Each structure stands twice: as C-alpha cells, then as structure tokens.
Amino acid sequence: MGLGGQMDSSVQEYVCALPEEVRKVALKELREDDCSREQSLQQMRDWIKKHPNIKKCRTDAPFLLRFLRTKKFSVPQACEMIERYLIIRQLYPQWFTKLDCNDKDLSEIIGSGYLVPLPERDAEGRIILFSTAGKFDPHKFTAAHMARVHSLITESLMDDETNQVNGYAYVNDEAGFTMAHISLWSLTDIRNMLRCIQNSTPMRHKSNHFLNISSNAVKLIEFAVSLLSEKLKSRIFIHKSLDELHKQIDPKILPKEYGGQVPLADMIDSLKKKLAEKRDQVVALDEMYIEIDEKSCPLISEMNEELGMGLEGSFKKLQVD
C-alpha cells in the first residue's frame, strides 16, 4: 500500500478487479468507467500529497476507491470523506484504532458470533453483516469493544471492490438485547457514532433489517433512526417474524439456525481465517496520520462543532415503556 503522497509499484500496476456484472453496476449507479476511475485516482493522490495536514495515508487504488465509489466519483466529496475518515480515527481512537483480531477481548467477542459477515451474497450481490445482540456480553465488555469489533470486521471488508460497488446489507437479531446493553452508550456517543458512520465511513449502506425487537430496544432504535438521513431511514426494515425476514432475505444464505444451510459456528471459523489473513493490513491503518489543526484544516473545526454539540445524557436515564 502507498503511504503519504508517494505512488509505489502496487499503485502503478493497479488493474480494475471488478467482474463484468459488477462493472455494469458501477457504470450505471456510480458513473464509473476506466477513464473516470484513473483520472479520479490521480486527482485524489495529488490532493493527498498537497494536503498540509495529512502526513501519512494510503494511496493505493483499493483504498481510495472506497471513497470514490461511496461518493459516486465526486472527487471533492471523496476527498472530504477521506479527510473525515482520518480525523475520526484520531478523535475516537477507542472506536477506530487498535483493530487487532489477536486482541484477547475482540477475539472472544468475534468467537461468540456477535457479528459475522455471511459467506454468500444476497440477490443484489451485497455482502450481509449478521449481528446477534444477545451474544454480546454487556457485563464483561464495553461500548468501545462493540465499536472496535464492528470497525475491525468492516475494515477487513472495505478493500473488496465488489463490496465497494454493490454495498452492504445488515441483519440484526435483537433477541437478548437488555437494559445492560443500553447502559453502555450515552446519547451523545450514539449520535456521534451514527454521524461518523453516515459522513466518514466509506460504505454504501443499502438495507438494514431488524428482527426480534424487544421493548428494551424500541426506544434506542427509534432514537438512532431519528438521527439518520432520509435515504438511510427508507432502507430500514422491521420484521415481526423470521418468516417475514425470509421474504426479503433468501433463507439459504442465512445461518442454519435462521433457516439457512451453513451453521453459524462454521461462519465464525471462516471469519477468523479471513481476519487473520487481513490482520497486518488492518493493523497498519494506525500508521496513517492527520494533524488536528483547526487553523489550517477548516473541516476539523466544522467536525468538532458537529460532533461536540447536541444531546447530553445516557440511556441509563431513559424510561422504557
């Protein structure tokens, strides 16, 4: 991978790795073709090289294409997003850094099956991130652990170019979600996390499915949804039963415990192997660095205001009907 503004051999030798059917989606939805891609990549590299605050940053094509594809090849918007991405890693290191799959706590949470990418894609070619709230122990682990597990797994997926184009879907089983889970997060942290996800994380979020929502989870989900953009709100689906979920997600690709063919334990084993393969690359993300200087980087001042203002309090104080 390239760090700083310098191109290395891996950058120069890049060839688009998209399958033909995914290329068609990229052209239709993202206005991406060979010419626009190469021009945009070069513009981003030039911008990174000249940026007074960015001291170290990957410049290889798979990394930069995360942002270009999320922003449909608007170079100014992609540059702003990569700047935001670097800033949030330093504003919230407890959420976005030290993403080591060998970390004892993260390894235990992953082994529990709390969050697992499904091996097979859905009908639209999207990878599905499957989470089970009841498998996360809120008495043993913190909100920072939860955030870092999500960050670790998504970082291991984001260089995949098919994921970049087709986007991501989510299935969340909220069975076992308790007040102890709610107490992990303050209202401010919930709001800031969602703003980071919406504005700073280079992922195309295509659909979000919820199952087994308890009375404990209703208020939290309502609050979280209220903070989302209208586009993301329209992509949230609440299912009253597993059969209802199956109408939108092919049961064959779900874990066996949810009507599929592959046991969740096998999916966890596959995830562990993938994370081990990606470990060095993900850990190396911590080498990237942007100076937090409001005078020379106006976006930093804007983000401090954006992320620092608003609601106070904790869900510990929230009354649940």
Structural domains of the chain ordered from first start: 9-95+285-308 (1.10.8), 99-278 (3.40.525.10)
Neighbours of 310 (CB within 10 A): 12
Residue 224 clears pLDDT 80, i.e. is over it: yes
Q: What is the pLDDT of residue 6?
A: 39
Quickly tell me which residue has 């942290």 as its tokens.
Answer: 189
- Encoded tokens for 216: 């404990």
Q: What is the pLDDT of residue 151?
A: 98
Residue 299 clears pLDDT 80, i.e. is over it: no
Q: Give the helix, strand, coil percentages of the chain, each rounded to 5.
A: 55, 10, 35
**CA separation for the pair 23, 167 (Å, rounded):** 14
> Is residue 307 very low, low, confident or very high in pLDDT (cuts 50, 70, 90)?
low
Quickly tell me which residue has 């170019």 as its tokens.
Answer: 161
| Tens-digit pLDDT profile for residues 74-133 | 999 999 999 999 999 999 999 999 999 999 999 999 999 999 999 999 999 999 999 999
DSSP label at 262? B
Contacts for 249 with CB less than 8 Å, ≥ 6 apart: 122, 128, 169, 171, 209
95 three-state secondary structure: helix
Bridge-based pairing of strands 54-56 and 115-117 is: unpaired
Give CA angle at 282 (281, 283), nearest 5°.
95
**CA separation for the pair 265, 263 (Å, rounded):** 5
**CA separation for the pair 210, 251 (Å, rounded):** 15
* R_g of the chain, CA atoms, integer Å: 20
**CA separation for the pair 210, 240 (Å, rounded):** 9
Instruction: Give the CB-side neighbour count of residue 46, counting CA atoms within 13 A.
Output: 8
- Encoded tokens for 223: 């609050």
> Is residue 296 very low, low, confident or very high in pLDDT (cuts 50, 70, 90)?
low
Q: Which of 68-72, 220-224, 238-242, 293-297 has the lowest mean pLDDT?
A: 293-297
H or E element that contains 289: strand 289-290
Instruction: Name the burial class of residue 170, with classes exposed (0-12), middle (13-18) and buried (19+) by CB atoms within 10 angstroms of its CB.
Output: buried
Q: What is the pLDDT of residue 14?
A: 67
Contacts for 197 with CB less than 8 Å, ≥ 6 apart: 203, 205
| Tens-digit pLDDT profile for residues 51-89 | 999 999 999 999 999 999 999 999 999 999 999 999 999
DSSP label at 49? H
Q: What is the pLDDT of residue 305?
A: 65
**CA separation for the pair 137, 99 (Å, rounded):** 19
How far is CA 68 from each of CA 170, 289, 309, rounded to the nearest angstrom? 22, 20, 29
The number of angstroms, rounded, from the C-alpha of 120 to the middle of its chain's C-alpha atoms is: 18
| Percent of the chain whose pLDDT exceeds 70 | 87
Average model confidence (pLDDT) across the chain: 89
Residue 264 clears pLDDT 70, i.e. is over it: yes
| Tens-digit pLDDT profile for residues 1-58 | 545 443 343 444 566 778 999 999 999 999 999 999 999 999 999 999 999 999 999 9
CA torsion 145-150-152-154 (nearest 10°) is: -170
- Encoded tokens for 34: 């060979």
Residue 317 clears pLDDT 50, i.e. is over it: no
Query: For residues 66 and 100, is the Cβ–Cβ distance under 8 A?
Result: no
pTM score:
0.89
